[in-house]
Amino acid sequence: MPIRTERWVVMDASASVDGSYQEVACCYSSEDAFHYIDIHCDEDSHIEDKSFTAQSDSSRFRPPPGDQI
C-alpha cells in the first residue's frame, strides 16, 4: 500500500545574491508553505511540490549481510 508524504519547498529569489531561486523552507502542507511566504518572503516567491509516495512493502528491504543463508 503506497503512503504519500507531503513535502512543499518554499523558493525565494531574494535569498540569493545572483537572483536565482533558493530553497528557504520546507513544509508538510501547502497552507504552511504559503503562510511562510506571507510572513518571510517577497511577492516573487513560490512553492514547489516535492511530495513523494513510498511503498510500505517490506520486500524493498534486504536482510543484513550476516542473516543471509
35 sits in which H/E element: helix 30-40
Residue 11 forms beta bridges with which residues?
23, 46
**CB of 27 within 8 A of CB of 36?**
yes
pTM exceeds cut of 0.85: no
Q: Which of 9-18, 29-38, 39-48, 52-61 has the lowest mean pLDDT?
A: 52-61
Banded model confidence at residue 62, pLDDT cuts 50, 70, 90: low
Name which of 1, 2, 64, 9 is nearest 41 in CA terms. Answer: 9
Query: What percent of the chain is modeled with pLDDT above 70?
Result: 77
pLDDT in tens, 35-53: 999 999 888 899 999 998 8
